[in-house]
Amino acid sequence: MRCPYCATLENKVIDSRLSQAGEVIRRRRECEACGRRYTTYERVEQALPLVVKKDGRRQPFDRDKILAGLRRSCAKRDISADALERIVDNVQRVMVERGETEILSSHVGREVLSQLEGLDQVAYVRFASVYREFQDAREFVSELERLLEGTEASGSHEAATPSVRPEASSGEGPSS
């Protein structure tokens, strides 16, 4: 593993931990040349499907793209990086478990929304606004009303049980 600071290959592992339900090993490393520390993650390589975009292009499944979209949606929200990693892990697992060699970007987006709705409703609406390509304030209000109805039906102010309505658009948004 190359040091991200000085590019030297000589380093030592100073701590290893299982994380995220034992599916990932987190390793803290220290560069023997510059002495700086950094973290690496090790996970089983899976045969990931191709994502079919709405214009027909095909791209490899990219967990970093999903994570970037989640980070934008969760900006200035009290959501940990570990929680976002868990969402991406869950989405990736669901897509792999489908057993398909190609999946529609809309399936990826719906799964991200499903995971986000139970975590943070503001982040959910932010993500949905890009993913579903909201065109005006009425679409925001409609989505907010749907969320509020779900929250009131559950009898609390906590996030409602995740349920995703069929999308009006099969847009790609930040998830694909």
Its domain, for residue 87, covers 47-175
Whether residue 161 has pLDDT greater than 60: no
What number is the average pLDDT over the span 7-35? 90
In the chain, the number of structural domains is 2
Q: For residues 50 and 62, what is the distance between their CA atoms, to the nearest angstrom?
A: 9
59 falls within a domain = yes
Residue for token digits 């669901």? 94
Kindly report the three-state secondary structure assignment for every residue of 48-106.
CCEEECCCCCEEECCHHHHHHHHHHHCCCCCCCHHHHHHHHHHHHHHHHHCCCCEEEHH
Torsion of CA 144, 79, 96, 53, to 10 degrees: 50
What number is the average pLDDT over the span 37-50? 85
164 falls within a domain = yes
**Residues 36 and 22 placed together within one structural domain of the fold:** yes
b or e along 73-99 (b: 16 or more beta carbons within 10 Å of the residue's beta carbon)? bbeeeebeeeebbbbbbbbbeebeeee
**Residues 92 and 110 placed together within one structural domain of the fold:** yes
**Residues 53 and 70 placed together within one structural domain of the fold:** yes
**Residues 29 and 62 placed together within one structural domain of the fold:** no
Q: For residues 108 and 93, what is the distance between their CA atoms, to the nearest angstrom?
A: 11
Whether residue 136 has pLDDT greater than 80: yes
96 falls within a domain = yes
Whether residue 45 has pLDDT greater than 90: no
1 falls within a domain = no
**Residues 113 and 54 placed together within one structural domain of the fold:** yes
pLDDT for 152 equals 61
143 falls within a domain = yes
Average pLDDT score, the chain: 83
132 falls within a domain = yes
**Residues 29 and 54 placed together within one structural domain of the fold:** no
Whether residue 158 has pLDDT greater than 80: no
Confidence of residue 146 (pLDDT cuts 50, 70, 90): confident
Confidence of residue 135 (pLDDT cuts 50, 70, 90): confident
Residue 88 and residue 151 in contact, taking contact as beta carbons nearer than 8 Å: no
**Residues 24 and 89 placed together within one structural domain of the fold:** no
**Residues 37 and 53 placed together within one structural domain of the fold:** no
Whether residue 46 has pLDDT greater than 80: no
**Residues 168 and 141 placed together within one structural domain of the fold:** yes
Whole-number percent of the chain with pLDDT over 90: 52
In the chain, DSSP finds a helix count (H) and a strand count (E) of 5, 6
**Residues 72 and 159 placed together within one structural domain of the fold:** yes
What number is the average pLDDT over the span 58-70? 94
**Residues 98 and 133 placed together within one structural domain of the fold:** yes
Does the global pTM surpass 0.75? no
